[in-house]
Structure 1
Amino acid sequence: MFYSYLCVYCQGTYLTSTAHSHANDFNLHEGTVIGKFNGEFWGMFASHQLVGNLITLALLRDEKGGSTSGTTLLFIVFLCSMTLGTILMCFLSKRNGKEEQMQDSRVTFSSSVVSLLKAMLNLLLDIRILLIIPLIAYSGLQQAFVWAEYTKQIVKPSLGERGVGGAMAVYGVFDAICSLAAGRLTFGLSSITIIVSAGALIQIIVLLWLLLGYSVAGGVLGTVYPLLIGALWGIGDGVLNTQLSALLGILFKHDLEGAFAQLKLWQSASIAVVFFISSSISLQTMVIILFAALCISLAGFLFLMLQFEKAFSYHAS
Structure 2
Amino acid sequence: MTCDESKFENTYSQASCNGEVEFESMASTIPGEEETPLVAVDARNSNSNSHSWDIHILSLAFLLVFLAFGAAQNLQSTLNTEADLGTTSLGILYLSFTFFSFFASLVVRLLGSKNALLIGTTGYVIYVAANLKPNWYTLVPASVYLGFCASIIWVGEGTYLTSAARSHATDNNLHEGAVIGDFNGEFWAVYALHQFIGNLITFALLSDDRQAGITKGTTLLFVVFLFIMTFGAILMVFLRKRSVNGKGEQELADAGACASLKTLSKSLASALSDIKMLLAIPLIAYSGLQQAFVWAEFTKYVVTPAIGISGVGSSMAAYGAFDGICSLLAGRLTSGLTSITTIVCVGVFAQAVVLILLLLNFSISSGFLGTLYILFLAGLLGIGDGVLMTQLNALIGILFKHDTEGAFAQLKIWQCATIAIVFFFAPLISFKSMLVIMLAFLCFSVCIFLWLALKVGKTPSSSSSQRL
TM-score (structure 1 length as normaliser) = 0.91
Note closer, same or farther for the CA distance 1:111–1:89 as it changes in structure 2 (3 Å cut). farther
The one-letter amino acid paired with 1:184 is: R
C-alpha change, 1:54 and 1:113, in structure 2 (3 Å) is farther
Asked if structure 1 preserves the Cα contact closer than 8 Å seen for 2:363 and 2:370, the reply is no
The one-letter code of the counterpart of 2:171 is: D
Q: 2:165 is matched with which residue?
A: 19
Q: State the structure with bigger RCO (CA 8 A, min sep 6), 1 or 2.
A: 1
Deviation at 1:309, TM superposition (A): 1.1
Task: Kindly provide the amino acid, as one letter, of the partner of residue 299 in structure 2.
Answer: T
Give the deviation of 1:93 after TM superposition.
1.4
Deviations 1:246-301 (A, max 9, x none): 00000001111110000000000000011111111112111111111111110111
Query: Compared with structure 1, are the counterparts of its residues 18 and 112 closer, same or farther at alpha carbon in structure 2 (3 Å cutoff)?
Result: farther
Q: Who is 1:292 aligned against?
A: 440
Partner Cα separation in structure 1 for residue 156 and residue 329 of structure 2: 24
The sequence identity of aligned pairs, in percent, is: 56
Cα deviation 1:59-84 (Å, max 9, x = unaligned)? 33498979999444433322222222
Whether the 8 Å CA contact 1:138–1:270 is kept in 2: the answer is yes
Root-mean-square deviation (CA, aligned residues, Å) is: 2.6
Measured after TM superposition, the shift of residue 99 of structure 1 is: 4.2
CA 313–83 in structure 1, closer or farther in 2 if over 3 Å, else same: closer
Q: Which residue of 2 aligns with 1:157?
A: 305
Instruction: Determine the structure 1 residue equivalent to 2:148.
Output: 2
Q: CA deviation at 1:14?
A: 1.1
1:116 and 1:257 in contact (8 A); partners too: no
Runs of 4+ with >6 A deviation: 62-69, 313-316
1:212 equivalent to 2:360? Answer yes
**2:272 — aligned with what?**
124
Query: What SS class does the counterpart of residue 273 from structure 2 fall into?
Result: coil
| Bigger Rg, which one | 2
Equivalents in 1 of 2:214, 2:349: separation in Å?
A: 46
Between the aligned partners of 2:206 and 2:297, the Cα distance in structure 1 is 24
SS in 1 for 2:335: coil
Aligned length: 316
Q: Secondary structure at the match of 1:225?
A: helix
Candidates 194, 214, 218, aligned match of 1:48: 194
Matches within 5 A, 1:1-317: 1-61=147-207, 70-96=217-243, 99-100=247-248, 103-107=251-255, 112=260, 115-215=263-363, 217-312=365-460
Work out the CA distance in 2 between the residues paired with 1:44 and 1:315. Answer: 31
How far residue 221 of structure 1 moved from its aligned partner, in angstroms, is 3.2
Q: Tell me the distance in 1 between the aligned counterparts of 2:369 and 2:431.
A: 20
Aligned equivalent of 2:48? none
The equivalent of 2:12 in structure 1 is: none
Tell whether the 8 Å contact from 2:208 to 2:215 is kept in structure 1 after alignment.
no
Aligned equivalents of 1:314, 1:162: Cα separation in 2 = 50
Seen in structure 2, the aligned counterparts of structure 1 residues 87 and 212 have a Cα distance that, compared at 3 Å, is: same
Residues 208 and 216, structure 2, Cα contact 8 Å, conserved in 1:
no
Contact 1:38-1:183 at 8 Å conserved across structures: yes
Q: Does structure 2 retain, via aligned residues, the 8 Å contact 1:17–1:95?
A: yes
Structure 2 residue runs without a partner (length 5+): 1-146
Report the CA distance shift for 1:101/1:75 in structure 2 as closer, same or farther (over 3 A).
closer
- TM-score, normalised relative to structure 2: 0.63
Point out where structure 1 has 5 or more consecutive residues left out of the alignment.
none
